[in-house]
Structure 1
Amino acid sequence: MATSDTATCADESPICPICLGAFNIPRQLTCMHCFCEHCIKSYIKSKASKVDDVDKIECPVCQTVVRRPQRVTSVESWISRLPVHSVLLSISSESKVNVIRRCDACQSRDVMKSAESYCVDCEEAMCIDCKVVHQHQKATKTHSIVCMEELARSPKIALKYATAFNCPEHDGEDIKFYCRNHRLACCVVCCGTSHKNCESVLDLKTEASTLLKEEDPGVIIESLKTLETHLNKFTEINNENINNLECQMNVVSAAIRDLRKKLNDALDEFEQKIKMDGKLIYKGDMIQKQEENHACLSLLNSIRNSRAVLEVVNQNGNTIQKFLVTDKTKWQLTSYSELIHEKFEKISKITLQLDVDPVLQSLMEGKFAKLVTNSEYKNFPLTIWKKPTKHWPLLAAAVYEVKGPYEESQRYTDLVCLTEDQVMLIDDYNNRCCLLDSSFCNISSYTLPDKPWSIRIFAAGEVVVSLRNKNQIQFLVVKDNTIRPTRMIQTRLPCWGIDVVGKGSIVVSGPNTAIKKCYWSVINDRGEETSYHEYGDRAWTNSYIALNALKTRVYISSWGTDSLLCFDILGSLLFVYNPCNLKGSFGITLDMDDYVYVVGRNSKNIHQLSPDGAVLQILTDGLPQFPVAITYNRSKNQLLLTNQSSLNRKIINVIKLG
């Protein structure tokens, strides 16, 4: 029993996620999701009778909090502050969708007139009367005015005058920079406030081409298509459930009629009761599945909108526009993946059947049969990122000596690239972390209160270090080439491996000595566990942990069993990599394409794996006697490797990726 919504889904034109219809003036929230002007206006009004009662709303798609601008006194003025997405407007017009743009000046006076022209300098739509006034004003008569039909007809022109590339935090400011530390595009005002202490803020005018090479729009477009496929599969299962409920209810009714022939009067009352129960179950489940389908369609259309915008920008936009839209869509992709993952965790196949008591002991009481529903859970695999066709080959390692006033013995158990030219190093023997320059010369160091093991970047200029003996995590800030402690949090269990999930969350791993098992868990920045997963026994002793770019996969090295384990973020084991030539698996890192690198300490090699655990290359040339920790330098596309050699521990190997 197909629904009308399914037919809408087949249309590839951009569709509003709220009304599931063609866009009518697509307005964009700060989270980059777009909605019809009247849809988002109705949504805001539904939250309270007065706009003063609404300080913030949640995006209907991703639930991101959108705050009300200051000095906004009406819903209409709030809506007018939201930028019109020119690209979606152009795409909708290309698809022959009836999109109406109102005159901005008239709308501010609560007068609704259709816009005929668009002022590029003022970034405002104008009716015929306002255009005449605009052209005769001394201050505006030299402004560039474009016909709305021309603006809507050509994606290239729409991109040229698009406001979607303005800073969402500061009105009227164009995005001109990109902060590598926060991985965010920003304006001049952002650079002077939120990113003033960041080490790597790039000018998009000169660096957009380089940055775009790191973010392939085609890969993200394919990933969005994959998400669409998953949502279509989800809808297909629900439609199958609806059909099954209807068909199997007919089967149940037929079974009831057969029983009635045998049971005569006693079945009269039973038939009515069973039919009533069946209708309630059928109606309730069908409504629920239809509601789930509607929510899926809303999310599906939002994904299509994101893909449509990225495809148009990728084909017609300049380099800066391509990068900005690609970068924004990448984070939307993460949000979509999490939402779809939640849906597939709950999806099940429903069947309806009649469960009859064979003894019929309570025949006259009408208790001889009941309706039951069976849910068969299906673990559908979600492949969000397609495997790239090429990977970076590992080249021979170059050896560099770590220079500084160090003791005779060191053991470098982990390291991380803070910036393009700075490396943070963990010295386990001397309870110390060291800041090195690009030549691996010591800049400064800090002595920790306990044995450190692993280090990761928590935020711009801030790192977290696991202290393995005291169940603690130390936060350190690096500023002006000086390392300073900021705070310490306590963990419930011994913490060895550590990585950062994002949004203030950290993933840790280690042994749970109380039950003689290994574990990994997600904690917040106060040390409170939000999830906990255990596996194996003490023989599976783990050492390092790393996450992929989307934070959907967790990789853990187990030196006790010479293995690399991969879990999804919910704790399900995806695969175990355990070849005969990997001995003493230690450090783990991932490159920009999510390829995995795991160090074999005792086998003296590095294994390069695909995200799904297929071995691609094993490097043995030029490595130290006992390699330990490894990290990826994104800006230079190279691996840095420490060692635990008894002859010389003060070296770092640099491995170029070809």
Structure 2
Amino acid sequence: MPAICGPCLEGGNKNPSVKWCTICEEQLCSGCVQHHQSLKLTRNHYLTEIRNDVSCTHASENKETVFNTPETCVYHPSVEIQFYCKKHDIMLCDACLGSHQSCHSDIVPIDLASNGTKNSQNFHSLQTEITNILQSFSTILANKQTVEKIFSNEVSSAKKKIVEIRLELVRYLEEMIDKKLLIEVESQEKNVLNQLTKDKTVAEDGRKEAAWFLEEISSILNTGSDKQAFMLLQRLKAFKNVRDQQLKEMSYNMQAYSLKIELPDRVELRSKMELLFGKVNMESTPYNVNMIQGMKISAFCATPCELIKTEKYVYSVSIMDAGQLLVVEFNLISSSKVFLFTDTGSRISEIKIPGTPTDSTAIPGGNKAVVLVDNKKLIFLEMEDTLHCKNIMKMAKGCNLINASLSKLYIAYKSEIIVMDINGHDVQYLKTLQMSGGVIQAFSVGRNDDVYYAIADRLYCMKDYGEEVFLYQTKDLIDVSGIALDAEGNVYICGKTSNNIHVLKQKDSSVQVLLREGNGLQKPSGICFDKFRNKLFVYYESSYDPIQVFNVTM
């Protein structure tokens, strides 16, 4: 339906509107536009065009439908998108600006925000991920078809056996056998086939939708504009999140069905009436199509142990001495939280935190932890029966990383590390370690308070007495996102863009690649190591992604 002029509608007329006033939040026809611009009170109001020809089509099965990326606002369908909020990663129209007043410095015109999107790494990375989704759904679909065929054969075999044994029984028992066995088998068959059909439908829909998105990406890459590419990119993010979740649920909850029928011996059938009837057993075997496999390199071996699912965006993960997992999650809609999990993923406790989390660290030798919030506040937590806040302290500088030893807090600020009292009482700057040029990407504290840190993908070690030593750099380690140490002093370095984890051995300073993309790493945002149980935790910032847990043997 065309948009109707607000003032005219009050007077009983239904004139189509042509402009939208962002101040009055009202639609205006051409006559009311002139009146609006002539009044002193409203002449400076900003008016924007209204599109009455907006249409958005969606693909449906067995229909040749074209997907269009709409250029109008989701919340105000008649108003064109003109801005992008970098803080909330959302496209806006003029009418949306009122709800983003605090984001003034993060709002840019859509034409500026979309500049270069078509050739951006993010756009091409999503193309790769959508391709993976297509392949994953195709694999699941093929698997479901195979399971269905095998199961149908077993059902036919079971029915044949039932018919054969039925011929051995007297006529008046035939009806009882039918009810006890055949109906039970057919019931199991119906339930299983219904589930397989449902799973195949979801897989087929996901495969078709992913295939379409890839065609749309290819079309935009060939003939589309950056603006179209940017808008499609926003839809691709939503599609990826939904379908990624479906893939994880289906991949980690796959079932293989096996129908077994237990029948008595024919001789016993004639001698014991109570053994006339057999039993139908239905078994389902869970398995994972994309199971992460361990990779053994020389003396090191990492094998998958657990997958810990989280609720929102994971900002940091650290390990308490008792093996508990301290997980800081960011929630854009409501309050962010700190969770305490067991190392197998069971939730122990949780606490809300004020502001946006930046980083966190567990303090060795006890049940305490510190969370860095809004880059300038330290929240000191303690675990007794539940997690609770002991103290909040403000920092003088905006920092982005935090770590701890038994007696000190280490907080990264640009290219330097501030060393503080562990408890936060009477805070004093005990030592400032001046680093090489650049920004610290990740760091960790080792034995004797040695600090291992990365700048420009180069690994350094700062000794407690101030000596700075260069340790490692390779082209195969890109965008360092995490550093961890084990009990032997071996250094684990995580590459986010290179999708791998390197290990620098303490014994002979040799380096090995412990895990790669083929082991399940997909842009890891950080790592931590349980020194007492030799477990490596790999976590991700993106929504719905689990925390991967690997057993490491040496």
Tell me the TM-score normalized by structure 1: 0.40
